[in-house]
Amino acid sequence: MKATLSCMVAVLALAACVAPPPQGGREFGVVIERATGSVQVLENRSRASLGRIEGLGDLSHASLVYSHDGRYAFVFGRDGGITKIDVAERRVVARVLQAGNSIGGAISRDGRVIAVANYEPGGVNFFSSDTLAPLAEIASTYTADGKRAKVVGIADAPGNRFVFSLFEAGEIWIADVADPRAPKVTRLKNIGKEPYDGLITPDGRHYIAGLFGEDGLALVDLEHPELGARRILDGYGRGTEKLPVYKMPHLRGWAVAGEYAFLPAIGRHEVLVVSTRDWKQVAGIAVHGQPVFVMARPDAKQVWVNFAFPLNDTVQVIDVQKLALVQSLKPGKTVLHMEFTARGDEVWISARDDGRVIVYDTTTFAKRAELPAESPSGIFFAWRAGVIGL
């Protein structure tokens, strides 16, 4: 009996000495530091920076996605690099230069496959999320002589599929990666001119591509892709003159709130409000400038908007129930990105030219904190790991 007790004590003592492995969490996140090729790791409960991870290449137009447990992030750089980082340990796990010019990526619903969209040479490359070992490539060839289109608007979809748009081709492709070494591709043609970005609705049902070359959007029902793309908001700005576009709007940070989708109008100082029941416009909300990001608070009660140069020191807030502006803020010079905490009680905003991240209370609009950062741009919290399309 004494021997047995001694063994139990020894086992318990050994277990106490072995620390559990670090885990990710919804409260962790990163901010991209575009000028220095680094990211800062953030913790939103304490509103603190936990450290910096360096050596991530050209982050002048960077985005990232999380592994399903939120521990790892996959950073997509403009130089064609994909970097897997351990957020908990604040280190680089693996890095691959996979193309000449990359514009973003996504992770499959089962978490096994990373897809990267490329401008050059044009196409989508697939990698193992464990090791970043290459799995397959889809070339975005759309002409008989082998010309490739830039790939934009890539997002994950239910059923281990990826959806993306081909800018010059005016097409939307759906790649099924049930067998990640042999993706099956469905091509939807003639969707409209120059799709520049895309989003998937929070329920995973619809993919919407914005069209840079004309006033309108392309909508795909992902449960019935055989029906092709449907044009919505066709000619929404008819009869009015477009303004010069200094920065392309972004749809990736989707704004679907309740029964409405809120979308940036290209070349206009306006946010379009669309009913998700019939995909018809129900309102247009005049705003401070040309919208870049139009993002819904997680509880769908507010939509926050930032703007392109030269009016990019301002953020405005739309009340979803009233369909009206309720607040304007000036966080700093060159506001590039906004990110809500998991329950939407705070929003973190990057002001690139002021070198800081500003935290606001989304109910009172009071400033809660400021954190220094080197040319901050995208902010990404780990709660995104459980959300379709982010």
Specify the CATH number for the domain of residue 234.
Answer: 2.130.10.10
Same domain, 284 and 383: no
Choose among 132, 76, 128: nearest CA to 102.
Answer: 76
Same domain, 152 and 173: yes
Q: Which whole number is the average pLDDT over 288-297?
A: 95
Looking at per-residue pLDDT, the higher value among 276 and 27 belongs to 276
Look at residue 234 in the predicted model and tell me its pLDDT: 86
Residue 106, domain member (yes or no): no
CATH of the domain at 65: 2.40.128
Q: Which whole number is the average pLDDT over 187-207?
A: 94
pLDDT, one tens digit per residue, over 72-101 is 999 999 999 999 999 999 999 999 999 999
The answer to whether the beta carbons of residues 334 and 379 sit under 8 Å apart is: no
Residue 104, domain member (yes or no): no
Residue 16, domain member (yes or no): no
Q: Which whole number is the average pLDDT over 7-23?
A: 41
Residue 2, domain member (yes or no): no
Domain total in the chain: 3
Residue 118, domain member (yes or no): no
Q: Which whole number is the average pLDDT over 140-146?
A: 96
Domain of 43 in residue numbering reads as 26-97+335-390
d(CA 347, CA 340): 4
Q: Counting Cβ atoms within 10 Å, is residue 3 exposed (0-12), middle (13-18) or buried (19+)? A: exposed
Residue 176, domain member (yes or no): yes
Same domain, 92 and 36: yes
Look at residue 238 in the predicted model and tell me its pLDDT: 67
- Secondary structure of the chain in HEC code, one letter for each residue: CHHHHHHHHHHHHHHHHCCCCCCCCCCEEEEEECCCCEEEEEECCCCEEEEEECCCCCCCCCEEEECCCCCEEEEECCCCEEEEEECCCCEEEEEEECCCEEEEEEECCCCCEEEEEEEECCEEEEEECCCCCEEEEEECECCCCCCECCEEEEEEECCCEEEEEECCCCEEEEEECCCCCCCEEEEECCCCCCEEEEEECCCCCEEEEEECCCCCEEEEECCCHHHCEEEECCCCCCCCCCCCCCCCCECCCCCEECCEEEEECCCCCEEEEEECCCCCEEEEEECCCCEEEEEECCCCCEEEEEECCCCCCCEEEEECCCCEEEEEECCCCCEEEEEECCCCCEEEEEEHHHCEEEEEECCCCCEEEEEECCCEEEEEEHHHHHCCCC
Res. 21: pLDDT tops 60: no
Same domain, 213 and 167: yes
CATH of the domain at 257: 2.40.10.480
Beta-bridged to residue 232, according to DSSP, are 217
Same domain, 40 and 92: yes
Choose among 74, 81, 83, 85: nearest CA to 101.
Answer: 81
Confidence of residue 10 (pLDDT cuts 50, 70, 90): very low
Res. 24: pLDDT tops 80: no
Same domain, 270 and 318: yes
Res. 319: pLDDT tops 80: yes
Average per-residue pLDDT for the chain: 91
Same domain, 164 and 222: yes
Same domain, 90 and 176: no
Q: Which residues of 340-371 are buried (b: 16+ CB within 10 A; e: fewer)?
A: bbbebebbbbbbbebbbbbbbebeeeeeeeeb
- Among 301, 330, 359, identify where a domain stops: 330
Confidence of residue 390 (pLDDT cuts 50, 70, 90): confident
- Among 293, 315, 330, identify where a domain stops: 330
- Among 196, 219, 244, identify where a domain stops: 244
Same domain, 165 and 255: no
Choose among 320, 273, 331, 380: nearest CA to 44.
Answer: 380
196 CB contacts (<8 Å, ≥6 apart)? 152, 153, 165, 167, 209, 210, 211, 212, 248, 249
Residue 5, domain member (yes or no): no
Percentage of the chain surpassing pLDDT 90? 82
Res. 17: pLDDT tops 50: no
**What is the dihedral sign for C-alpha 130, 132, 138, 140?**
positive
Same domain, 238 and 302: no
Strands lying side by side in the sheet with 161-166? 151-157, 161-166, 171-176, 184-188
Confidence of residue 5 (pLDDT cuts 50, 70, 90): very low
Res. 19: pLDDT tops 50: no
Q: Which whole number is the average pLDDT over 7-21?
A: 40
d(CA 239, CA 378): 35
Same domain, 259 and 238: no
pLDDT, one tens digit per residue, over 223-278 is 999 999 999 988 776 656 777 776 777 777 668 888 999 999 988 999 999 999 99
Same domain, 145 and 237: yes
Residue 32, domain member (yes or no): yes
